[in-house]
A and B are shown apart, each in its own frame.
Chain A
Amino acid sequence: MSRRETLSILAGALATAILACVPFLFGDYGLSLAINIVSYAVLATAWSLFSGPTRYVSLATVAFFGIGAYTTAVFAETLPWPAVLAIAAVIGVVVAAIVGLSTLRLSGVYFVIFSFGLAELVRQLVTWWEVNKTRTLGRYVFTDITAAQIYWQLLALAVLVFVVGFLIGRSRLGLALRAIGDDETVARHTGIDTTRAKVALFVLSTVFMTLTGAIMAPRWTYIDPAIAFNPVVSFTVLIMALLGGVHRLYGPVLGVVPLALLFEFLLARFPNHFSIMVGLVFILIVYAIPRGIAGLVEQAVRRPA
């Protein structure tokens, strides 16, 4: 392990320790803002875990997030909390495996199209099930989980996603994925089972999204399919990851913090024009900073040398 890696691990541990104190330092508003930021940090980092190295744009974040949230809504009252999280993760894995196995052996565009409508598909299926079988639309989520506990769970998940991302970067899988991102044909010719590598990583990244949804669900107390599968979430995660920069593990977080604050402000001031403004911000990012803040930082560091 190089000196630089040791330093970043220490910095990460220190940051986690400081962040764990947030519930004691700030009031309710500060805590809810922090929950928002950490949940998006997990989602954006998990998103770029797969989409960063492979360059396959996934538009399905909220499909998995929503699956997690709904699992909590259905099972939270009857099952112990760890069991709820486990069920959510399993459902997420199964859906991700179906999507991955059917599309990722083909070229990237099939994956994008499939992921584009996936949230809408799951939303309609859940709606259909609720209307026809349980005869309700919308559920109440009653748990005794406090906001601070949600925050700590999310923080633990964030640490986990970083550790997993760090380990992948050092593993054969990570090397295989970078090769796929550079040139998939070459990667296949050097003997990499590209489909298996892609599916494995896609499944892994979606597990984090599903768990985030499951953990976040008690925040709402009431959810229906339109809330749980809100396409704006997929979009927001995508913007945040891109602004931060997807080619570095720490990149997405750099995008999450400023944009979460900006969106908080925009939602409060312009609730009816939110998606217009977010769309404009997004287009601006795609054109002006294609390599994200992480890319800008690296450029600035490299220049004096």
Chain B
Amino acid sequence: MLLEVTLSGVTLGGMYALVAMGLTLQYGVARIMNLSYGELLIAAAFAALWFYSGLALSPLLGLLVVPPLAFALSYAIYRILLQPLVRRAKTRDALEVDSILATFGLLFVIQGVMLAAFGGAYYSYSFLSIPLHIAGATVAANRLLALVLAVVIGLGLYLALTRTRLGTAVRAVAVDPVAAQLVAIDVRTASALAFALGGALVAAAGVLVSMFLTFNANLGVVFTLKALVVVIMGGVGNLLGALIAGLVLGLVENYVAVFVDPGLTLAATYAIFLLVLLVRPQGLLGRSSR
């Protein structure tokens, strides 16, 4: 029983980690506090649902199609909607306030579109729901597959950011945008790429999540909140921190849902958040610079 709960907690935590990695790219590098972030996850989940039940294709094919689309969409959102704000903002704080407001508006637009299309009902589909037996515990194959894919995507991102020239440039912008400019890094392009990459990640997570969770059009806000909490908990801009914090959150949530009450998972999230705020506001692996 404990092993089963832990396994499904790790799966959920892997999703949170993936979602938070994308958000930490958007917030840490592009300096955009994106409140509409989770809406993209739900949109991707609906896209995967449509792939499976509308086109009778595997949602894994969706994983090849949906994230690139989300990348393009996020890139367009950044260039058209957010760059004017970046140009207008005098300080980092001013940009933060403006981006919060603009993306809060975007949240309601995207959510409104999905509500108009799908209503408030819960959706799910049954893909690879075969029980697998691992060391005496039973896990659904779709969960395990989602976890493996999340690990592959996360690892790929980590390598891309640490081993390539472009990745290094992106990380340099996260550390100090002014100094990055001095060493001939195009901060605007790097920011736009980081924002778009974040969008692609959350869309990938959306496709994976749709394979084993029920979802509805209102759920984006909750994912945004959890991603934000994980980002803060791991330390803003820190990928490894996001990974660890995501796993912790997934595990705690699952334990609370199974052993206490499923209605209290968000309360558990908030309890962790409060603890982080009180004990270590710079995050598990964050530097206390701010």
Contacts and interface: CB of A to CB of B under 8 A. Distances in A.
Contacts of B261: 128, 132
A117 B225 contact: yes
A57 B221 contact: no
A103 B274 CA distance: 9
B232 A110 contact: yes
Interface stretch (A23-31, A213-221, A276-284, A292-300): A276-284
B33 A280 contact: no
Interface in B89-136: 93, 96-98, 100-102, 104-109, 111-113, 115-116
B278 interface: yes
B84 A287 contact: yes
B100 A114 contact: no
Given A113-B232, A274-B112, A120 B221 contact: yes
Contacts of B33: 109, 112
B270 interface: yes
Contact of B101 (A132, A232, A242): A242
A283 B102 contact: yes
Tell me the interface secondary structure of chain B in the complex: helix
A14 interface: no
A138 to B, nearest CB: 16
B274 A102 contact: yes
Nearest to A112: B100
Interface of A: 55, 57, 59, 102-103, 106-110, 112-114, 116-117, 120-121, 124-125, 127-128, 131-132, 231-232, 235, 238, 242, 272-280, 282-283, 286-287, 290
A273 B84 contact: no
Nearest to B276: A110
30 contacts: A57-B97, A59-B104, A102-B274, A113-B225, A113-B232, A117-B222, A117-B266, A117-B269, A120-B222, A120-B225, A121-B267, A121-B270, A124-B266, A124-B267, A128-B261, A132-B261, A132-B263, A235-B104, A235-B108, A238-B104, A273-B112, A276-B112, A276-B113, A278-B112, A279-B112, A280-B109, A282-B105, A283-B102, A283-B109, A287-B84
B35 interface: yes
B281 interface: yes
B102 A286 contact: yes
A106 B277 contact: yes
B273 interface: yes
Contacts of A108: 93, 96-97
Contacts of B221: 116-117, 120, 231
Contact of A278 (B93, B108, B274, B277): B108
Interface in B243-290: 261, 263-264, 266-267, 269-270, 273-274, 277-278, 281, 290
B226 to A, nearest CB: 8
Contacts of B105: 279-280, 282-283, 286
A273 B116 contact: yes
B27 to A, nearest CB: 9
Nearest to A184: B93
B263 A282 contact: no
Contact of A275 (B115, B267, B277): B115
Q: Which of B85, B104, B109, B281 has the most CB of A within 10 A?
A: B104
9 closest cross-chain pairs (CB), A and B: A276-B112, A279-B108, A279-B109, A128-B263, A275-B112, A282-B105, A117-B225, A283-B105, A275-B108
A116 B228 contact: yes
A117 B225 CA distance: 6
B267 A125 contact: yes
B224 interface: yes
Nearest to B27: A109
B21 interface: no
Contacts of A231: 221
B229 A128 contact: no
B71 to A, nearest CB: 22
Contacts of A106: 277, 281
